[in-house]
Structure 1
Amino acid sequence: MARVGRWIRRVLDRPGSVDLAPYQRVVAEAAALEDEVRGRDDLRPATVDPAWVGTADFCAVVREAARRALGQRPFDVQLTGVLAMLDGHVVQMATGEGKTLVGAMTAAGYALRGSRVHAVSVNDYLARRDAEWMGPLYDLLGLTAGWVAEGSAAGERREAYAKDVTYAAVSELGFDVLRDRVCVDPADLVTPPPRVALVDEADSVLVDEARVPLVLAGAADPGTAQPEMAALVRRLSRGYHYTIDEEGRNVFLTPKGTDTVEKALGIDLYEHPGVVTQVNLALHAQALLTRDVDYIVRDGRVHLVNASRGRVAMLQRWPDGLQAAVEAKERLPASETGEILDSLTIQSLIRRYPRICGMTGTALAVADQLREFYDLKVAVIPPNRPCVRVDEPDRIYPTAEAKEQALLDEIETRHATGRPVLVGTLDVAESERLDEALRGRGLRPVVLNAKNDAEEAAIIARAGERGALTVSTQMAGRGTDIRLGGGDPEQEAEVAALGGLYVIGTGRHESSRLDDQLRGRAGRQGDPGGSVFLVSGEDHLLTAYAPDDALPPADPDGVVRDGRAGILVAHAQRVAEGVNLEIHRNTWRYTRVLEKQRAEILERRDRVLHGDAGAEALRIACPDRYRELEETAGEETVSRAARQIVLFHIDRCWTEHLGFLSDLREGIHLRALGRLNPLDEFNREAVPAYRAMLDEIERRSKETFEKADLSRDLAEQGLRRPTATWTYLVQDNPFGSEWDRVLKRVAGMLKRGRR
């Protein structure tokens, strides 16, 4: 019976099923108030009843405020989106529908209710741009807004977080939370208690990057690269010395490869597990990570490329061993490394907020994940004007060579008409190869990729001009609309007559949302436009996720038109999405127990930081010593020292506990060989380890307190904290843990079996 109930709820709560009718009625009522509100001299509410937010009068006021402050009168659909977000939903709105203004009006609504809002962006540029752009709107409503950027000092951050609305990149927000967690003086805290998170590009932040850990490290030291291992694996040949499991993203030495490595190192590999790890890391870096696809080298450093955005992933690195292996592969010095003091996944960061809402152009495809991981529903907001873009069916070719030739011909033909063309590539290397090939035909494309993403706003602004030819990696999160004619009304009509912007995808992504985001760059606000994707049977999507299936034969002109080909491409994409979802679920299963433990230890830490819990604990545990120190040093000095001692050992033991859990999870997959559930085994060991950690905090605190000389600096008595801390993001190991790789293979087999 319970299963039937859950099934009924799933049907009734299907993706995109949020009923817009109540919001549309309120917006219609607001239209009747527009003339009256326009006559008001002051739009600032004198006293705000929280129940007023979301009413017709509220909608009329924010519409008029936007008209006066920004010169923009919000469309009805924009106000509908505002009301849906004020109800705690994620809204899906097409490109060019004015999501920035919708976000600002929503943030104003929450702020007028008395809730501080963190407007979560994907990068510093958009955070600052949106805060400054929407600033006049907030001013008119009597609200304040600020932003946090990577270069903001502690005082500037504290000031920005004190505003009613704070715009910040998700990484900067997370780093501030992590730094606050090791503060030893309440006056040094920067972030206020979380209230409302309003997430831009919600699918990217909440799903694509959900597993990305933000890290606070201390005692930074130069890393240790392994140049000799890198040199060794460079000499190995695929198929002879090692084989690659494309679907599982793994690489294995063959018996011949093992012999070669052992002879080169002069050891028996399996008697030296540490060396095995180093060889495997070097081999993964050499065979599975590709320069200008997974990373670029710039200014003598390895910079990771964000796969979902096609740009440099600022501050991101792989786990230390893999990062050092890639640096050794590229013959670069090892970057600094350090002990992890604490970490926080983006999913855990956002889930701290009692209220979450967001907006994006492609939420519906991840509606199930938004509901599963955040209990969020999707409201699909119709466009202000119907979309008239012509989306052609995929053109499928048997080989990559045939596809590339057709791609060049298609670009040249479309460009010759004067119609602006936007070509979306899958990675940096492909964008540069295509640029070279087009220049060989006498064309002059403008390239936007991870190597020049600082110029992106200017490049995108010109992409809709007559004759423009733009080659770009990911268009997600670019934050700038492509206007036909570049905003020139006369040229806009001319470009529209040519058919508008034409988007060409050089292949299907592993996520259908990335395809939709690229396609959505054409046809904004009812503009004409067109799109097409070119696919080959040798594309990674098909070789990795449908390796056992072949395309039907091509027609005489070289194009595969058999309907089964399109079905196969869609199937491979669904498999890819399913595999990534299962890895997300698996990560979250392991993370949940850690998050519960982190919440409890932070609660204990806050009681020590903001009160006398540390002093009281030591007074009870060491009554004689406490009285003795009070008599010699005074009550205030002893209380302050007790706080510092307990905080130090909480932080130190938590760091050690994180290290233990990391090692435990990395090796837990081996339990499956004994028919044990790795997740159950992880929890079985993680829970008693946490209890042991609490006992250890108490033991160490008592020991230090008994020996402490309060006339001297405690740092000189073993309580020295890191002289410096630094922050970075750990991009998921692209190969996952060994258990993740097993999941990939099993998921792939199951998907194929269901066909």
Structure 2
Amino acid sequence: MLGIGTLAKKVFGTPNDRLVKSVRPIVTKINDLAPEYEALDDAGIKAKTVELQERARAGEDLDKLLPEAFANCREAAHRALGLRAFDVQLVGGIFLHRGNIAEMKTGEGKTLVATFPAYLNALSGKGVHIVTVNDYLARRDAEWMGKVYEALGMTCGVVYPQQPEAEKQAAYAADVTYATNNELGFDYLRDNMKAELAQMSQREHNFAIVDEVDSILIDEARTPLIISGPAQDRSDLYKAVDALIPELTDAHYTLDEKTKNVTFSEEGNDFLEQRMASLGLLPPDQTLYDPESTTLVHHVNQALKAHTLFHKDKDYIVRDSQIVLIDEFTGRMMAGRRLSDGLHQAIEAKEGCAIQPENVTLASVTFQNYFRLYDKLAGMTGTAATEADEFMEIYKLGVVEIPTNRPISRIDEDDQVYRTGREKYEAIVKAIREANEKGQPVLVGTTSIEKSEELSSLLTKAKIPHNVLNARQHEKEAQIVGDAGKLGAVTIATNMAGRGTDIKLGGNVEMKVLEAIAADPDTHPDEIRARIEAAHAADEEDVKNAGGLYVLATERHESRRIDNQLRGRSGRQGDPGRSSFYLSLEDDLMRIFGSERLDKMLSRLGMEEGEAIVHPWVNKSLERAQAKVEGRNFDIRKQLLKFDDVMNDQRKAIFGQRREIMEAVDVNDITQDMRHQLVDDLVETYIPPKTYADQWDGQGLYAEVLDKLGQDLPVIAWTEEEGVDADEIRERLYKAGDEFMAKKAVDFGPENMRNIEKQLLLQTIDGKWRDHLLKLEHLRSVVGFRGYAQRDPLNEYKNESFQLFEGLLNGLREEVTQKLAQIRPLTEEERQAMMAQLAQQQAAAQGRVAPAPTPDTDEAEPAGEAAAGFNENDPSTWGNPGRNEPCPCGSGKKFKHCHGRLA
């Protein structure tokens, strides 16, 4: 009997069904336009783009242009790639344009779907960013879909690491730009460290379509992006502390695997104190509880985390004597990414690698706050429904499930739970053998490199040929995944299985064709393609008859999404397939989240060796455990965001101020405001409001004016004048400061003065912001302890960070005013001395002694020019040497007797 909810859904449809149904009329309109666009020639399609651009820039609503734009894009893609978008792909494109997440199953053509909303939104001329999870996909998609944009008369660019600046600026200036989330975030931070507008790469943040949106906006959102510079080197301390950790026993610390946290027990603290004192790391009269021991305690805690929470071949690998982190969600190496707060150095000490210096933060941003900069955001993935609440709460993104083009015919079996890991692996090898013997391709999902290699050795013993795909073989990823659908193929993969490369039954035709062309260059490519496509059709049929792709997972992941991604590799585009999960009570998820009750129950049931429990109830209880973990991870990300939101307001203010300064032709008004505000502060401090003249501190005000404004003014006399009030003194200080700076502008020249003020402002802002970030880092690390005093750490952080920011602004005004007051043009003697110093440095670089300066000659060159590109073999670089000076060629003769000799 059907439940009331199920019955209602059958009659009325789900909210998702109604949403999808609501856009069907638009799809019909696009289909009706198809004959008109098919009749256009290639030039006509480009002309249509120009017409649509003019209408969009004239203010016509993009929703009105959508049917025509989508019809034009569909025809261009058909001509450029031979792919004609299905109706469900148009539905996905419509929801992306509306700022939603389109959940589309694997193999439904998400890459092509993105071109429709990208094209439509690029008509406004503000640019569109398409975000991918790695550089390989960004380049591949830009090259592949670039043909569509070219056919439409639009430009397409790609951003990648270590890209030349001019190329990067051109990529961002394109109508559609493909890039990774990391590169976009780092370029945003780098742009806000530039000194001139012309050096900046990114334009406004108009519209972003995020591919694998769950991976980028959720999985990667736990750690902020940080641009850092080197700090103090403490490698010896890391090594000394690391040597103590193996001496610890389980009684010395408490490990909580649920929260991934580890803390020292009282016994552990006492043990460490004694050992550190004996090794001379802790002074005799000092304990670990003293404030002076803070750094030491921090090092010890990080070393303990490195040993207990971070495991080789699961969380990181050692490659070329360096620690390379592994993404727990994709299994890929994260080259160049480092753990902060000294944790990476602690792991380097543990593995005996060279310890890199710690870093100090120069700029940072979280992915949440970066992607919220966009006026409109959309995303695509195969698995988003389980995180729909988070997408709505953090990003205001709705999730819409797009129907598949063909019904899914994959069989999803119930989980099989075994008592021990050994029994589980025996059952897995048996299942793989059975599938392999009938030719069914098998994709085996594991959670770590260690486990993938353990299973590989079992299959090798069982003489089952197979491929292994993990972070060690990431260069061969596309090849291994492309072969995973071949008849009889067995592929072991960490969570990255198939990302970006479809697993097609019978193997990947394009890869086969490219390999065959490379092996046989004499035969015409069309002949090779025809031969391979014919053979592939037979292979595909054989694989379908064998049951399609069999996805076998060896463990459940903490996140249901990752399990669904793995399962989704099978059954693409209506293909047959099946999936099953093999679990044991020794698996991490089962062990940590209460398998004791289940173990007792299984014992009472009298399960025999090698027997599994299979029941829908087990699936449900596991899903509940996963939902708990997902909820906790969401709370962690939400907490991170709450703290970063505090910094984000300050970041926007500082970055906005920097941009305003760079855009301004003349920043004199800004520096004048800063000077006047500083005067206000000084007057208020030394001539407090509502006080009598005999309570004023004229001496203190005089000293501050001399120090901060660089002027020796009769301030003391002013404060003693009869009838003078604070406002009068303030006005006199304004006037004196303005006149002083106006004279400097005349001495330097207006153009030079403008440049000096602008550069000084930017440099001072950057320096103050760096110091501020360091203070916030320290505040963030200790503010949690306020909870013990029944005070909310977040409110405490907000209040104190605001005070620190006020201090930053006050310090900025003071430093800029003081530095501007101190600068002055060089005297002639200083200029000559600087010339001599430059000439000597240049001569030392050329390996000879520099001639002594001759200040009395009128033919001396302006400072710095002679030295800048000097070459003793090239007279054009010598400037104008005096006739009695030694010849710059190094001959030892006077210039007039050598190269300066008159003919």
Does the pair score TM above 0.5?
Answer: yes
CA distance in 1: counterparts of 2:484 and 2:740, whole angstroms: 73
Q: Which has the larger radius of gyration?
A: 2
Q: Partner residue of 2:123?
A: 112
Q: 1:613, CA displacement in angstroms? A: 6.5
- Pick one of 233, 245, 254 that aligns with 2:245: 233
Please state if 1:528 is matched with 2:643: no
CA distance in 2: counterparts of 1:123 and 1:665, whole angstroms: 31
8 Å CA contact 2:744, 2:824 repeated in 1 = no
Please state if 1:38 is matched with 2:38: yes
Q: Partner residue of 1:384?
A: 405
Number of matched residues? 702
Describe how 1:125-524 pairs up with structure 2 within 5 A.
125-219=136-230, 224=235, 226-237=238-249, 239-266=250-277, 267=282, 268-271=287-290, 272-475=293-496, 478-486=499-507, 487=509, 488-524=536-572
Q: Deviations over 1:507-558 (max 9, x none)?
A: 1111100000000000000000000011122211123333664343163352
CA distance in 1: counterparts of 2:218 and 2:613, whole angstroms: 34
Q: Judging changes above 3 Å, is the alpha-carbon distance between structure 1 residues 31 and 220 closer, same or farther for their aligned structure 2 residues? A: same
Amino acid of the structure 1 residue aligned with 2:81:
L
Please state if 1:76 is matched with 2:87: yes
Please state if 1:601 is matched with 2:654: yes
Q: 1:306, CA displacement in angstroms? A: 0.4
The 3-state SS of whatever aligns with 1:306 is coil
Q: Partner residue of 2:51?
A: 47
Amino acid of the structure 2 residue aligned with 1:179:
R
Amino acid of the structure 1 residue aligned with 2:371:
I
Please state if 1:663 is matched with 2:663: no
Q: Partner residue of 1:539?
A: 587
Q: 1:304, CA displacement in angstroms? A: 0.4
Q: Judging changes above 3 Å, is the alpha-carbon distance between structure 1 residues 210 and 256 closer, same or farther for their aligned structure 2 residues? A: closer
- Tell me whether 688-697 or 68-77 shows the greater mean CA deviation: 688-697
CA distance in 2: counterparts of 1:601 and 1:33, whole angstroms: 49
CA distance in 2: counterparts of 1:16 and 1:659, whole angstroms: 47
Q: Deviations over 1:54-104 (max 9, x none)?
A: 543333222211110110011010111111111111101000000000112
CA distance in 2: counterparts of 1:498 and 1:223, whole angstroms: 60
Q: Judging changes above 3 Å, is the alpha-carbon distance between structure 1 residues 703 and 350 closer, same or farther for their aligned structure 2 residues? A: same
Describe how 1:520-669 pairs up with structure 2 within 5 A.
520-546=568-594, 549-551=597-599, 552-553=601-602, 555-556=607-608, 558-561=611-614, 564-612=617-665, 614-620=667-673, 621=675, 622-669=737-784
Q: 1:600, CA displacement in angstroms? A: 1.2
- Tell me whether 273-282 or 221-230 shows the greater mean CA deviation: 221-230
Q: 1:567, CA displacement in angstroms? A: 3.4
Amino acid of the structure 2 residue aligned with 1:28:
T
Q: Judging changes above 3 Å, is the alpha-carbon distance between structure 1 residues 138 and 162 closer, same or farther for their aligned structure 2 residues? A: same
Q: Judging changes above 3 Å, is the alpha-carbon distance between structure 1 residues 482 and 146 closer, same or farther for their aligned structure 2 residues? A: same
- Tell me whether 28-37 or 288-297 shows the greater mean CA deviation: 28-37
**TM-score, structure 2 length as denominator?**
0.75
8 Å CA contact 2:666, 2:754 repeated in 1 = no
Q: Deviations over 1:627-654 (max 9, x none)?
A: 1211211111111111111111111111
8 Å CA contact 1:301, 1:332 repeated in 2 = yes
- Tell me whether 104-113 or 589-598 shows the greater mean CA deviation: 104-113
Q: Partner residue of 2:819?
A: 704
Amino acid of the structure 2 residue aligned with 1:76:
D
The 3-state SS of whatever aligns with 1:296 is strand
Q: Judging changes above 3 Å, is the alpha-carbon distance between structure 1 residues 706 and 560 closer, same or farther for their aligned structure 2 residues? A: same
Q: Judging changes above 3 Å, is the alpha-carbon distance between structure 1 residues 248 and 363 closer, same or farther for their aligned structure 2 residues? A: closer
CA distance in 1: counterparts of 2:234 and 2:115, whole angstroms: 43
Q: Partner residue of 1:735?
A: none
The 3-state SS of whatever aligns with 2:222 is coil
8 Å CA contact 1:421, 1:468 repeated in 2 = yes
CA distance in 1: counterparts of 2:317 and 2:820, whole angstroms: 51
Q: 1:273, CA displacement in angstroms? A: 2.6
The 3-state SS of whatever aligns with 1:20 is helix
- Tell me whether 508-517 or 217-226 shows the greater mean CA deviation: 217-226
8 Å CA contact 1:16, 1:377 repeated in 2 = no
Q: Partner residue of 2:107?
A: 96
- Tell me whether 562-571 or 374-383 shows the greater mean CA deviation: 562-571
CA distance in 2: counterparts of 1:710 and 1:202, whole angstroms: 56
CA distance in 2: counterparts of 1:350 and 1:667, whole angstroms: 28
Q: Partner residue of 1:720?
A: none
CA distance in 2: counterparts of 1:331 and 1:636, whole angstroms: 56
The 3-state SS of whatever aligns with 1:396 is strand
CA distance in 2: counterparts of 1:568 and 1:405, whole angstroms: 24
The 3-state SS of whatever aligns with 2:30 is helix
Q: Deviations over 1:152-177 (max 9, x none)?
A: 11111001111100101111111111
**TM-score, structure 1 length as denominator?**
0.89
Unpaired runs of 5+ residues, structure 1, are 1-11, 717-755
CA distance in 2: counterparts of 1:562 and 1:410, whole angstroms: 19
Q: Judging changes above 3 Å, is the alpha-carbon distance between structure 1 residues 203 and 18 closer, same or farther for their aligned structure 2 residues? A: farther
The 3-state SS of whatever aligns with 2:94 is helix
Describe how 1:709-720 pairs up with structure 2 within 5 A.
709-711=824-826
CA distance in 2: counterparts of 1:18 and 1:340, whole angstroms: 48
8 Å CA contact 1:668, 1:678 repeated in 2 = yes
Q: Judging changes above 3 Å, is the alpha-carbon distance between structure 1 residues 221 and 251 closer, same or farther for their aligned structure 2 residues? A: closer
- Pick one of 76, 87, 92 that aligns with 2:98: 87
- Pick one of 64, 68, 79 that aligns with 1:57: 68
Q: 1:324, CA displacement in angstroms? A: 0.3
For the aligned residue pairs, the C-alpha RMSD in angstroms reads: 2.2
Q: Partner residue of 2:701?
A: none
8 Å CA contact 2:70, 2:120 repeated in 1 = no
The 3-state SS of whatever aligns with 1:558 is coil
CA distance in 2: counterparts of 1:502 and 1:652, whole angstroms: 57
Q: Judging changes above 3 Å, is the alpha-carbon distance between structure 1 residues 549 and 467 closer, same or farther for their aligned structure 2 residues? A: same
Amino acid of the structure 2 residue aligned with 1:684:
N
8 Å CA contact 1:15, 1:364 repeated in 2 = no
Q: Deviations over 1:548-606 (max 9, x none)?
A: 64343163352124655333322211111011011111111111111111111111111
Unpaired runs of 5+ residues, structure 2, are 1-11, 510-535, 676-736, 835-903
- Tell me whether 631-640 or 292-301 shows the greater mean CA deviation: 631-640
- Tell me whether 163-172 or 567-576 shows the greater mean CA deviation: 567-576
Q: 1:256, CA displacement in angstroms? A: 4.0
Identity of aligned pairs, percent? 37
Q: Deviations over 1:234-290 (max 9, x none)?
A: 2323x2333311112122334443333223211433332321211111111011110
